[in-house]
Homo-oligomer: A and B are copies of this chain.
Amino acid sequence: MTPSTSPPVAVLAADVPPRTTPSNYPEPFASRMRGREKRALGNVFGLANFGVNLTTLAPGAVSSLRHAHTKQDEFVYILAGHPVLVTDAGETPLAPGMCAGFRAGTGDAHHLTNPTDQPVTYLEVGDRTPGDVGSYPDDDLVAAMEGGRWRFQHKDGAPYA
């Protein structure tokens, strides 16, 4: 590798530029991700087996549509702010230093919301096990990971344009 493509030894996470694509969702869902900013920390170092993002939710923003994965484990650790974790069990208030994990295959869908007037910042980890499918109990959406990209369909199998 040439020096210009070698990853850095370490970085200040806040210095990593935010992802330029705010959301991979089709509309009308992508617009609902406004106020969410992700810094792809793991990619800075060329990690392939899992991703780690530093994610910030502005007041009123959400982490994602509420969803469950068939193959991908996920984990969040709250660094700042007071989000609400929504799962099939209802609403759980979170605070800095709290964490939650979402085991693949349980079918229990989750997301974080920020109902406060202060930003929320957290680390999120998810692995890249092949064959993953995302289900969305509250929305007309199904997602399948194919060739490293999500393919989105309506629940009746029709593709999103």
Would you call A129 and B49 a contact (CB within 8 A)? yes
Chain B nearest CB: distance from A100 CB in Å? 4
Chain B nearest CB: distance from A44 CB in Å? 7
Q: Which of A41, A89, A127 has the most CB of B within 10 A?
A: A127
Known A10-B92, A100-B9, A103-B7: A49·B77 in contact at CB below 8 Å: no
Would you call A127 and B89 a contact (CB within 8 A)? no
Chain B nearest CB: distance from A28 CB in Å? 29
The number of times this chain is found in the oligomer is 2
**A89 vs B85: C-alpha distance when bound (angstroms):** 41
> Of B42, B48, B50, B77, which contacts A13 at CB under 8 A?
B77
**A73 vs B72: C-alpha distance when bound (angstroms):** 16
Contact string against B for A residues 33-74, beta-carbon threshold 8 Å, 1 for contact and 0 otherwise: 000000001101111111010000000000000000000110
Would you call A46 and B101 a contact (CB within 8 A)? yes
Which residues of A come within 8 Å of B, CB atoms? 7, 9-14, 41-42, 44-50, 52, 72-73, 75, 77, 85, 87, 89, 92, 94-95, 97-104, 123, 125, 127, 129
Question: Can you list 17 residue pairs at the A/B interface with Cβ under 8 Å?
Answer: A7-B101, A7-B103, A9-B87, A9-B92, A9-B100, A10-B85, A12-B98, A13-B97, A41-B101, A45-B75, A45-B100, A45-B102, A46-B103, A49-B72, A50-B75, A52-B77, A52-B101
Known contacts A14-B97, A49-B72, A75-B125; 12 additional CB pairs below 8 A are: A9-B92, A10-B85, A45-B75, A46-B101, A47-B73, A47-B101, A48-B104, A49-B127, A50-B75, A52-B75, A52-B77, A125-B125
